[in-house]
Amino acid sequence: MNIRILLVFSALLPTVVGNVYAAHYTLPENSTDTVITEYPDDMPLSRSEKDETLLDVARRYSLGQTEILRLNPELDRWNVKKGEIVRISNKHILPDSPHDGITLNISEYRMYYYPPAVAGQPRQIMSYAHGVGRQDWKTPLGKTSVAKKVKDPSWHPPESIRKEHAALGDPLPEIVPPGPHNPLGAYALYLNLPGDYRIHGTDIDKIFGIGMQITHGCVRMYPENVEELYNLVAVGTPVYIVKQPIKVGWLDNVLYIEAHPDLEGEELSSAERYGLAMELIQKANNQVMPDINQAALDEALKNLTGDPIAIFERIAMPTDELLTSNPTDPLDTVAPVNQGMPINANDATALKPPVNQMMPMQAPGKKSLIKKPSYPADNYYSPRNHSNSL
């Protein structure tokens, strides 16, 4: 697939938190589009200004370790040379959940926060990398809310965690006071769930665990990210915790799919992954299976990079033709603007049609292909009773 490349230098990036680029997005103008884009090209790249680790680059761009390793499989995570080019994330498909409060998609180790709408301004989204629960300490799924916020929290490790650490020769005290070695970090948002599940920061020794299955069930964030979130989110904000390894969404009449590796202990077979993808594609297309680009779909499901890949394009009729068409002539019948045709994976221009570009339909008279995202109940389950997780 031919993709134009934009080299993003730090001087060109407008939104910075300290020396960390905040992942802030604007919702698409079309309310049915669910693909968000941070930079004005498909594949932004960063040039390292000094010798560093790949994980240093990940933190600078609010990416997690798993995410940046998938994007740069050829690079040494511990040794990125000055001047070396690193691929960073750009597009994301929003999870299938309400655009309200916080959504945590544990399958992609990524959070989406929807600040309250401001009249007369485009709706904003903030997105952050985070760590999630290990295979034996799963992060619970479901709808909850922020119960309370605590700055400089103390940690009271439960007996189960103290026994685990003692067995590894790393005994824990009954109370870990605030400070640089507190696993909760400097900020914690407690969730309204059985047990002390939190969205919290991290101690200085575990920063590179962001974007991995590494916690005892809590959601762990970079220090600068959790500080920003803490100052923005009010008590009572809804929180949706979902598990969506495959997402499908529209942007400017192009349908994208985004596929992530499975969580440990929850692996799908190739057939199961393909079946899930086809179900989501059909759902996004008003229960009508479009003539997708099969090679592009296979690439997405094989590589599991987490990057949205275009698999279908729909072509709409020009506005002037809509106004002049004669509905009494069956050959001139105006088709809905949602009908489509498959994209050409080798045509870079086909993957990014200009916004609002209108073109004649090839097969008039079919149903609308747009379906507004729903909120499937099968993405959730009741959390098991576990206390004082982190």
What residues act catalytically? 200, 218
Q: At which residue do the structure tokens 């045709």 appear?
A: 341
Cβ burial, residue 204 (10 Å; 0-12/13-18/19+): exposed
How do 35-37 and 43-47 pair as beta strands?
unpaired
Q: Any idea what DSSP says for residue 227?
A: H
Tokens 């299938």 belong to residue: 96
Q: Which two tokens stand for residue 211?
A: 């974007």
CB-based contact 376:335 (threshold 8 Å): no
Q: In this structure, are residues 170 and 205 in contact, taking their beta carbons and an 8 Å threshold? A: no
| SS (HEC) of 241-290 | EECCCEEEEEECCEEEEEECCCCCCCCCCHHHHHHHHHHHHHHHCCCCCC
Q: For the purposes of burial, counting CB atoms within 10 Å of the CB of 130, is it exposed (0-12), middle (13-18) or buried (19 or more)?
A: buried
